[in-house]
Amino acid sequence: MKKLIVLLVALLISISLPGAVNAAGQPKFSDVPQTKHFAEAVESLAERNIIGGYPDGTFKPGNPITRGQAAAIIAKMLELNTDKVKNPGFKDVSPENGYYKAIAALAEKEIIGGYEDGRYGPNDPIKRGQMASILVKAFDLPRYAIEENPFKDVKNYPYISHSQNILIIYHLGITTGTSATTFSPNASITRGQAAKLLKATEELKPQMKTMKGSEFGWKRIEWFNDQEKNPGVFKAALVTGRKTPAGYTGDRLQIVPLKEGTGTLSFGEGSDFFPDDTNFKKYYVHVKKTDGEWSVTLEETDDHFPTAAGLEMTQEQTKQVEKVSLETMEGEPLSDSVAFKFCKKGMIDNLCIDIDNPGQYIATVSYKGGEEIRYGIEVKQRTAHFYYSIRTLQERTSHSVDLSNDNYYSVKPGHKIGKHIIPKGSEQIAVVTREKNTNIFRAEAKKSGNFMVEFPDDRVRVYSEGHVFFEGISIDVEQLGTILYVTVRPYLHDYWM
């Protein structure tokens, strides 16, 4: 019985070893004609003693490749040391198994894993989705976060194990789908297909530079930004580590060159929203290509770039702007004619001007016809980034609301609101007045703060459907340096009875 087992193991190993070779040193398999799409890959890998055929001189390219066979082939391609390996603990892979060393070596590198029940399944046909994940890990392909997904049978969710890896090898051109809209992640892979996939991965793996968090004494790399300047020069990808009994394996940042030029990269440990609580690095990334080879050079910096301050207004208003002047918050003139352009901040229309340094400023926008509107600008340095953090505030020191003729909520026609109560001390925030015998209230801003003016006599029903009542008006004053912006609005309450 022992002899039979030894013979069987020897036969299994021969599947991943070199087959017949002709006198010229070229692999030759009778069932792999040159017309087959995988022929070149099969012969190339066989010539390098990475794959082999059967004793009868065939390769059997249409047979499914098993998980054990795939492990043996990939371990050879990666030139892993299989002499001293740790037992991975798969209950169906004993040290006597012909693929044990290869499986153990790949498991130790976290390239492969087993099933939830503790098996590895060395004799199970490997599936297309599984192969995608193995290729990404084995060849350390860039872990791009890819949104574009043409496949209906690949759900691009983080918790679906193979989805991102499928999209990675697809977008790198390593493989295609089984149709324009399907990938068939649960379909088995044949030996011929596996050879072509492995060869394509070798050839199409992009050159890249990799940095580990441990190089900087960090436990983690938790964020990065490769989009601040010339985002098409390179692309970065984050490879997160794993918790193991031996500790956390560590995070890595991959930098993939795309074209010659200089871009920027910032990354760090901790939150980039709280730079005082984070470790970070900022680099210029210089990319060059010489004799077909990419080089990536990192130049550490603490530079900041001029940053656009958005002055909110409509696109039509921007067409009426004659000039923009800029001064410090203390009134020191900086420029009587600042370059400006129309821009959007999110979905909001803005007039944008560039600010070079941190501080507080006042921009005065002069319109045709003589109107002027002032904006406060606060520029703060974000040490972990190349651009400043900017807040702007339009000046509006006076504002009113007519509760008989509000755009959204009004009292019933002819109704006069009774007594109103202004809280004591609120005049330090804003002075509230009411036009005689009207429902018009006005506030003149004094400093930052908010309060409510109550209507104590009765709840005044809003002239609309539902059970919405006025209980008063709210006054809110924002402040940026000496610039004030006041808003008066109805204070509403829903009563569902």
Is residue 464 packed enough to be buried (19+ CB in 10 Å), middle (13-18) or exposed (0-12)? Answer: exposed
Element (H, E) at 440: strand 440-445
Q: Which tens digits make up the pLDDT trace of 160-187?
A: 679 999 999 999 999 999 999 999 999 9
What's the pLDDT score for residue 465?
53
CB 349 within 8 A of CB 318: yes
User: Pick the residue with more confidence: 429 or 83?
Assistant: 429
This prediction's pTM: 0.78
Q: What is the mean pLDDT of the chain?
A: 88
Q: 6 pLDDT exceeds 70? A: no
CB 478 within 8 A of CB 488: no
Q: Residue 469 contacts by C-beta under 8 Å, 6 or more apart in sequence?
A: 459, 460, 461, 462, 492, 493, 495
What's the pLDDT score for residue 490?
86
Q: What angle do CA 363, 367, 370 make, to 5 degrees?
A: 110
CA distance 264 to 229: 6
pLDDT over 90 percentage in the chain: 73
Query: How crowded is residue 198: how many other Cβ atoms within 10 Å of its Cβ?
Result: 25
Q: Taking the domains of the chain in order of start, what are their residue ranges?
A: 2-204, 209-300, 307-394, 398-494
Phi, psi of 309 (to 5 degrees): -100, 125
Q: Which tens digits make up the pLDDT trace of 299-342?
A: 999 999 999 999 999 888 889 999 999 999 999 999 999 999 99
At 245, list the tokens.
């009994």
The tally of CA atoms less than 13 A away on the side-chain side of residue 195 is 30
Asked which of 21-25, 138-142, 215-219, 249-253 is least confident by mean pLDDT, the reply is 21-25
CATH fold, domain 307-394, is Immunoglobulin-like (2.60.40)
